[in-house]
Amino acid sequence: MSITRPHGFRAIGLDAGIKPAAAPDLALIVNDGPRDTAAAVFTANRVQAAPVLWSREAVADGRARAVVLNSGGANACTGPDGFADTHRTAEHLAGLLDVSAQDVLVCSTGLIGERLPMDPLLAGVTETTQQLAAGAAADAATARAIMTTDSVAKTAEATTPSGATVGGIAKGAGMLAPQLATMLVVLTTDADVDAATARAALAEAARTTFDRVDSDACMSTNDTVILLASGASGIAPSPEELTEAVRTVSADLARQLVADAEGASHDVHVVVRSASTEDAALAVAREIARSNLVKAAIFGNDPNWGRIVAAAGCVPESVAPFAVDDLSVHINGVQVCRAGGAHRDRSEVDMTLRETLIEVDLGAGSASGDIWTNDLTHEYVEENSAYSS
């Protein structure tokens, strides 16, 4: 179980006929309360899809009763008509649930620039309200319905020491960049918390998990991460407890996103230590993670540390000060670079493992930061060269 593991939630996913081929493409998650607390974070892309614009406004009051999500179309760059489609979806579901449309959040994922087929979508929304359930089958159906190029559904859950539960589902397999990714994530909890606590917990959790996933430096128009709290457990965990549980679920889902990155053959963890500040460490880690030369080397099982230090050197000194002679690099535990030069022979590095660990020490301070990414493969190019065909 995942999304309905916390008390107070029902969900379902089904085939509404939004995608050209038969496949689950519509999901609904409902918070039965007694609380209707909600928080969300969204893409930082200046081009934002209609559902993002709607949901950002709707969740501003810290409340939501339902989230409706579709795959098979992003409803991005569709103008006023696309926004009207999102509004119409929220109004339709609100009428069925007897709630305000402002308490309905909407998420979409898929191809940009095409409007959604509203007749099957709205009919599907009606059907989802009739099939809502709690349990493993409902959770699995919901997670499948939001998939696009994902090869597997992504779910996670955790429990606070005080006994409140957090569950979650996610979709995403490419365009994973900072300020989230091409992801839709819904987290649920039965904790009894207010909106301010939920916002703080989600913001901190996203900062250290979803914001640290950078598959291909491409930022989506539809990124959304939502946290719903029902209060159904009657347990009010401390803010620290809640944040850690939300972070645990978010970290699990973020790691699953990287593991399912389109065509990837290596999951790559870039860790930068001894930086002047955390921001400096993250800047260097992100530069390395985004380097196509580094990614291609990893795909070829080549522990080419020269490409790693070259990428680190692309970060301006004003952002991440360090001396070249202080640089060291470990790849999968082998120190291949020391004091800015060659150390142990790169042939000692085992690159056949699925997970590649790159550790860079800047020798400039005590701060650290990390980024998860993946290699660049033929399959990634093939997948993204024919996405709209």
Q: What does the DSSP 8-state code read for residue 169?
A: E
- Angle at 35 (CA atoms; ends 30, 39), nearest 5 degrees: 75
CA distances (Å), origin 104, targets 60, 77, 130: 12, 21, 17
Catalytic residue, from 149, 182, 221, 248: name it. 182
- Six-digit token string for 140: 């699995």
Contact in structure between 318 and 324 (CB atoms under 8 Å): no
The DSSP element (H or E) to which 374 belongs, if any, is strand 367-374
Q: Where does 190-333 show beta strands of DSSP type E?
A: 224-229, 267-275, 328-331
Residues 333 and 58: their CA atoms lie apart, in Å, by 48
Residues 141 and 7: their CA atoms lie apart, in Å, by 18
Strand 224-229 and strand 267-275: pairing?
Answer: unpaired
From the list 279, 286, 258, the residue with the least C-alpha distance to 374 is 258
Contact in structure between 215 and 181 (CB atoms under 8 Å): yes
From the list 13, 37, 368, the residue with the least C-alpha distance to 189 is 37
Residue 182 among the catalytic residues: yes
Residues 79 and 85: their CA atoms lie apart, in Å, by 10
Contact in structure between 6 and 190 (CB atoms under 8 Å): yes
Burial label for 281, CB within 10 Å (0-12, 13-18, 19+), is: buried
Upstream peptide bond of 34 is cis (omega within 30 degrees of 0):
yes
Any idea which residues carry the catalytic annotation? 182
